[in-house]
Chains A and B, each alone.
Chain A
Amino acid sequence: MPGFLKTLMARIRGMFLRRGEDAEFSVEIREHLDMLTDENLRRGMPPDEARREAKIRLGGPAQLRETHRELTGIPFLETLFLDIRYALRMLRKSPGFTAVAVLTLALGIGANLAIFTLIDALYLKPLPVAHPERVVHIYAAVPSRSYNEGFSDPEFKLLRDHASSFEALAAETEVAQLHVVAEGDSSEVRGAFVSANYFNLLGVAPSIGRPFLASEDAAPGRDAVAIISNQFWKMHFASSPAAVGSEIHVNRVPFKIIGVAPAGFYGDIAGMPAQIWIPRSMLGSCGYACSDGTYQCTVYDGLVGRLAPNRRPSVAQAELRSLIVWSATDWLKRPIQRQLVAMSANGIDPDHRADCDAQMQLLLAITASLLLIACANLAGLVLSRGVARRKEIAVRLSLGASRPRIIRQLFTESILLAAIAGILGVWFSLSARDALSGYYATDSEGFHHLYDLTLDWRILAYSAALALVAGVFFGLLPAIRTSRQDLTIQLKDGGSSGQHAGRWLPNGLVIVQIALSMTLVVSAALLVRSGLAVERGTNFDPSHMALLRLRPELIRYTPQQVESLIRRAMQAVQMMPGVESAAFMEGGEGLVWNSQNGHGATVSVAGEGQVTSDSGLRVQDVNSTFFATVRMPILQGRAFSEQDNATAPRAAILNQALAQGLWPHESAVGQALLINGKPYQVVGVAANIQPPSTLQAAAPHLYLSYWQSNATQNGDIRMAIRVRGDPSRELPQIRKVIQSVDPLVPIGEDMSMSEQVGLVYTPVLLGRAVMAFCGFIALILSAIGVYSVLAFAVRMRTREIGIRMALGAEPGNVLGMVVWRGAKLAVTGTAIGAVGALGAAYLTRSLIFGVTLDDPSTFAIVAILLVLVALAACWIPARKAMKVDPMVALRHE
C-alpha cells in the first residue's frame, strides 16, 4: 500500500521536524487570518469587527494547530515519548522508591532467568551442527526402563540402507571414560565410537586435519585413527598444528590423530561433551567387544539421523518402526519389547529427562512464587505512591486529562520500572548461573557434564516477556485505582483522609506476600533439614571418607595382576598415618551409593520364586572390612571376615529389603539360596541404604565376599577409605601411595564421600539452595511490604491520629492501633501460607528426608519468625504515628 506508506513516512518525518513544522504552520495561519481581516476591512467593517469575523471564519488557531499536529505526527508514539520522559523524571524524583522497586523486581526476574538459563541449556539450545533442526536421535527404547537399549550392527545397517526419511544415518557409542595417554599425560575422557559418516552427517568439518574416510569404519581393528576435540587439543597439544599426525594411546591401543574438531563442537548430546571420536570399527580393539567377541553383536547406544528436507520426526519414526519389528525376544534373547523412538537431538539425553523435568518444574515454581511476591510487593508500593500523588493527578484530571490518559501515564511508569529491572535481572542471573551449573557439572555416576549456559536470544526474550508480564501485573491495577477519584474531594482536602481509599487492595497484597513467603520459607526449612539428614547419611557415615576408583580393566590387567594390585594397594593405604581403615569393593558402573552399583543377578530360593535384576536387585562384591569402614549396621548375623575366601563355603549378606522379600516371616540368617545358579548361605542382614527419592522403596541388595565371587575379578575396583582428617586433603596423599605401589594403574573419580552423597542427592541439595535463597529474599520482601503499607496508612491518617490524640488518646493507643493492624495482616497471611506450605511439602515429598511433611516445630518456628519480622516492620511507622503532633497535624491543611 504505497499511499499508506507515503503518509506514514510523512508522519514520521513530521514527528522529528516537529518544532519547525509547528512554527511554520503558525505563520501560515497568522497570514491567513490577516488576509481574511483585510478582506473584511475592504468590505467596510470596523477593524475590531473585521478581526473577530475573520477568526470565526477561520476557526480557533489553537484547535487548528492541535489538529495539524495530530495529522502530521504519530500521536501515539509522541505521547509515549512524552510519557517515558515524564516517567523518568518521576522516578528520578523518588530515588528510594525507584531503587527498592527495581531491586525487588530484578531479584524476582533474575531468579527466574537463572532457572530459565538452565532450562535453555538442558532442553532448548540447538546442537552446534549445521541445520540442527533436522538432526534426530534414534533410540531403541524400553519405555518402562530406558532409551538406551542399543542397536546391533545388523540393525543399524538395515535402517541405514532402507529408511527413506533420512539423508543419512550414523551410529555411535558413547564411552564415559576412555583412558587416553597423549604426550605423556594420561587422563580419563569421554569419547565416542562413531560410524565414518558422523562428521559429514552433522555438517561439521574439522578445523584442521580431515574427517573420517568412508572406508575407515569398514574393517574391525584396522583403522586406528582419531579426531580430538578443540578442548583436548588445547589442553594436551597447546593448540599446535603438529597434533595432527601424532600418536596417542586409547585404552593402551595406539591411535593416529587425523583431525581436530572445531571449537564449540562437543558431539551430539547436550551436557556430555566428547573429547575424542574414534571409528566404530575400533570398539573391539579398545576392549568393548560383546561377550561373544564378535563384531556382529556390537552395540551402539543410539543412532543419529539427518532428516530428509521437510520430513517430520514423527513420520520418520513411523517409518523406522515399520522397518524393524522386534518380537518377544530381542537379539540377546532377552524377553523385552523394544520400541524405536526418533526425537529431536536438542537437549539432554532422554534417560535423564524425567528427573530433570521434575527438577525444573520445582525450581520454576519456587522462582515464580518469588516473582509473584515481588510483584505483590511492588503493586503495594505503586499503589501507596499513587495515593500520595493523588493531588498531582487530581490537578491533571481537572485540567482536562482523560482517565485513560492518566492510566497510560501511570502504567508507563510501571513498565519502565519493569524494563530497568529486566536488564538488571539479566545481570543477576549471570552471577547466579555459575552457582547453579555447579549442581549439574557432575552426575551421580561421577561423570562430568558441561552445559552451554551462555546468554542467547531466548534468554533475553524470556527476560523481556517476564518484565512485561510483571509490569502489567503490578502496574495496571494500581494505575486504574489511582486514576479513579473524586476531584472535588481530592482538591478540597488534599487527599489526606484515607478512609474512602479502600483498604482491601493493599491489605490483600500484603497478605499474598506473607502467605507466599510462609510457603517458601517453610519449604526451605524442610529442605534444609532434609539436606542435613542426607548429608548425615542413613545407615552409613559419609563423614571423613575418601573414595577413588582403580581402573586396571582399562590397561588389561589379568585377574592375577588385579589381585596383586588390590592386596598391595590396600596394605599401603592402611599403613598411612591419616587412615583409620580402608575397604574395597567391585567398582563397575556407578559409585557406591547408587542403585546401579554392582551388577545384576538372579537369586532364587529352593521351592520359591525368583528375584531378578528387573526388580532392581543388584549384587556387589565387597571385602571383609567394608561394613566396618563405611559403618553400615549389620542387623542380624555377621559381617564378612577374612575367612570368607575362595576355599570357604560361599557366604552372602542381604540387605533388609531383600531379606524381608525372601523370608517375610522368619530370619534370613542361615537360609540357603541360589545366586546365578550357585549355592550360597546367608550369614547376615545389613541395613538398607536410603534411595535418592523418598518415594522409592529401598531396592533389594546383595553383598558377596569379593574373594569368593568371580564376577568381576579382572574389573575395576573402588576403595573407600576412612581418614582422620579432611578427606579431600588426604586424597592426593592416598593417590601418591597407590601410584608408588603401581605407577601404571589409572586412578579416577577420587572424591570425598560427602561429595558423592551430594551428587546422588542433587535434587535435594539444589532444591534446598534455590529454596533457601528465594525464601530469604521473600522474607525481606514481605517485611518491606508490611512496612510500606503501614507507613502509608499512617501518612494518610495523620489528621485522624492527630484528632484522636487531641481528644486524649495516649501514644500507646496509637502504637497499638498500628501494630494491631500489622499483626492482623501477618497472622492472616501466615495462616493461609501454612496451608500452602502443607501443599508444597506434599508436592516436594520425594525430597523431604528425616522430617515429616507437617513437622509442627518447623511450621511453628517459621510462623513465629514471619510474624516477628512483620511486627518489626511495623515499628518505624508505629513510632511515626506516636510522634504525631496534634497541632501540626490539624493545622496541616
Chain B
Amino acid sequence: MTESKSEVLQGTLDLMVLKTLAAMGPLHGYGIARRIEQISEEALQLNQGTIYASLVRLQQKGWIKGEWGASDNNRKAKFYSLTRAGRKQLSAESENWKRIAGVIGRVLRLADRS
C-alpha cells in the first residue's frame, strides 16, 4: 500500500462524503454510497464498504456525527450529519480542491499544447 496514493484517495472520498451530507442532510451509509454513485452518473463504482473507513475518520475529526434512527422502510440505521466544524472544513476543502484542480488543469493544458 503506497501511502501517498491512498492519502489522496482517502482525502477525495472524505470530501465527497462531506459534500454529499451538506447537500442531502442526514444520510445513512448506504444512502451516502448510492448518492455518490448517482452523482458521478455511475462512473464511480464504489466498493461501498470503503465509505465506512471515511465515516470513522470524519467522526474522529469531529466533522460529522452519527445518530441511530429509522430508515424509510423502517430499518434501524445510523444517520450521519455535518457538524458546524464539518461545514467549515468543507468550505475550506472545497476552495482548496478547486485551486488544485485549476492548477492541475492548467498544467495539463500546457502539456497538451507543447
Q: Which residue numbers of A lie inside 8 Å of B, CB to CB?
A: 3, 6-7, 10-11, 24-25, 27-29, 31-32, 34-36, 38-39, 57-60, 63-64, 67-68, 71-72
Residues of B31-71 at the interface with A, using a CB-CB cut-off of 8 Å, are 34, 46-50, 52-53, 56-57, 59-62, 71
A35 to B59, CA, bound (A): 23
| Nearest A-chain residue to B78, judged by Cβ | A28
Chain A residue numbers with a CB within 8 Å of B76 are 27, 31
Residue in B34, B47, B57, B77 whose CB lies within 8 Å of A71: B57
Residue in B49, B60, B77 whose CB lies within 8 Å of A11: B60
Chain B residue numbers with a CB within 8 Å of A58 are 47-49
Chain A residue numbers with a CB within 8 Å of B29 are 28, 32
| Nearest B-chain residue to A67, judged by Cβ | B53
Interface pair A72/B61, CB less than 8 Å apart:
no
CB distance from B73 to the nearest CB of A (A): 8
Chain A residue numbers with a CB within 8 Å of B61 are 3, 6-7
A67 to B76, CA, bound (A): 22
Which of B29, B49, B60 is packed against the most chain A CB atoms within 10 Å?
B49
CB distance from B19 to the nearest CB of A (A): 19
CB distance from A21 to the nearest CB of B (A): 10
| Nearest A-chain residue to B49, judged by Cβ | A59
Residue in B50, B59, B71, B77 whose CB lies within 8 Å of A10: B59
| Nearest A-chain residue to B48, judged by Cβ | A58
A59 to B46, CA, bound (A): 10
Residue in A3, A34, A63 whose CB lies within 8 Å of B75: A34
A53 to B30, CA, bound (A): 15
Interface residues of chain A: helix, strand, loop or mixed (majority): helix
CB distance from A2 to the nearest CB of B (A): 9
- Residue tally, chain B, CB below 8 Å to A: 23
Interface residues of chain B: helix, strand, loop or mixed (majority): mixed
Interface pair A36/B30, CB less than 8 Å apart:
yes
Residue in B46, B48, B57 whose CB lies within 8 Å of A32: B48
CB distance from B80 to the nearest CB of A (A): 10
Which of B52, B61, B73 is packed against the most chain A CB atoms within 10 Å?
B52
Chain B residue numbers with a CB within 8 Å of A67 are 49, 52-53
| 4 interchain residue pairs of minimum CB distance | A59-B49, A10-B60, A35-B30, A7-B60
Q: Which residue numbers of B lie inside 8 Å of A, CB to CB?
A: 28-30, 34, 46-50, 52-53, 56-57, 59-62, 71, 73, 75-78
Having A24-B78, A29-B49, A38-B73, one finds 14 other A-B pairs with CB under 8 Å, namely A7-B61, A25-B52, A27-B76, A31-B28, A32-B29, A34-B75, A35-B28, A36-B30, A36-B48, A57-B46, A59-B48, A67-B52, A67-B53, A72-B60
Which of A27, A32, A59 is packed against the most chain B CB atoms within 10 Å?
A32
Give 9 A-B contacts (CB < 8 Å), ordered by A residue: A6-B61, A11-B60, A29-B49, A31-B30, A31-B76, A35-B28, A68-B52, A68-B56, A71-B56
CB distance from A671 to the nearest CB of B (A): 93
| Nearest B-chain residue to A21, judged by Cβ | B56
Interface pair B71/A64, CB less than 8 Å apart:
no
A57 to B50, CA, bound (A): 10
Chain B residue numbers with a CB within 8 Å of A31 are 28, 30, 71, 75-77
Residue in A10, A28, A35, A71 whose CB lies within 8 Å of B53: A71
| Nearest A-chain residue to B47, judged by Cβ | A59
A31 to B69, CA, bound (A): 12
Interface pair B56/A72, CB less than 8 Å apart:
yes
A71 to B73, CA, bound (A): 30
Chain A residue numbers with a CB within 8 Å of B56 are 68, 71-72
Chain B residue numbers with a CB within 8 Å of A7 are 57, 60-61
A67 to B75, CA, bound (A): 25
| Nearest A-chain residue to B89, judged by Cβ | A3
| Nearest B-chain residue to A64, judged by Cβ | B49
Chain B residue numbers with a CB within 8 Å of A60 are 49
A24 to B30, CA, bound (A): 15
CB distance from B78 to the nearest CB of A (A): 5
A31 to B68, CA, bound (A): 12
A25 to B78, CA, bound (A): 9
A60 to B62, CA, bound (A): 27
Interface pair B59/A57, CB less than 8 Å apart:
no
Interface pair A6/B71, CB less than 8 Å apart:
no
CB distance from A594 to the nearest CB of B (A): 73
Interface pair B30/A32, CB less than 8 Å apart:
yes
Chain B residue numbers with a CB within 8 Å of A71 are 53, 56-57, 60
Chain A residue numbers with a CB within 8 Å of B47 are 57-59
CB distance from A74 to the nearest CB of B (A): 12
Chain A residue numbers with a CB within 8 Å of B46 are 57
CB distance from A56 to the nearest CB of B (A): 9
Interface pair B49/A6, CB less than 8 Å apart:
no
Chain A residue numbers with a CB within 8 Å of B77 are 28, 31, 35
A839 to B75, CA, bound (A): 82
| Nearest A-chain residue to B33, judged by Cβ | A32
A60 to B48, CA, bound (A): 11
CB distance from B64 to the nearest CB of A (A): 12
Interface pair A6/B62, CB less than 8 Å apart:
yes
A38 to B77, CA, bound (A): 15
A39 to B61, CA, bound (A): 32
Interface pair B60/A6, CB less than 8 Å apart:
yes
| Nearest B-chain residue to A11, judged by Cβ | B60
Chain B residue numbers with a CB within 8 Å of A29 are 49, 52
| Nearest A-chain residue to B59, judged by Cβ | A10
Chain A residue numbers with a CB within 8 Å of B73 are 38
A533 to B39, CA, bound (A): 98
A823 to B15, CA, bound (A): 73
A58 to B32, CA, bound (A): 13
A121 to B78, CA, bound (A): 63
Chain A residue numbers with a CB within 8 Å of B59 are 10
Chain A residue numbers with a CB within 8 Å of B34 are 39
A57 to B42, CA, bound (A): 13
CB distance from A40 to the nearest CB of B (A): 12
Chain B residue numbers with a CB within 8 Å of A34 are 75
CB distance from B62 to the nearest CB of A (A): 5
A336 to B34, CA, bound (A): 96
CB distance from A396 to the nearest CB of B (A): 25
A36 to B47, CA, bound (A): 12
CB distance from B92 to the nearest CB of A (A): 12
A180 to B52, CA, bound (A): 84
Interface pair B52/A57, CB less than 8 Å apart:
no
Interface pair B62/A57, CB less than 8 Å apart:
no
CB distance from A68 to the nearest CB of B (A): 6
CB distance from B70 to the nearest CB of A (A): 11
| Nearest B-chain residue to A4, judged by Cβ | B61
| Nearest A-chain residue to B57, judged by Cβ | A71
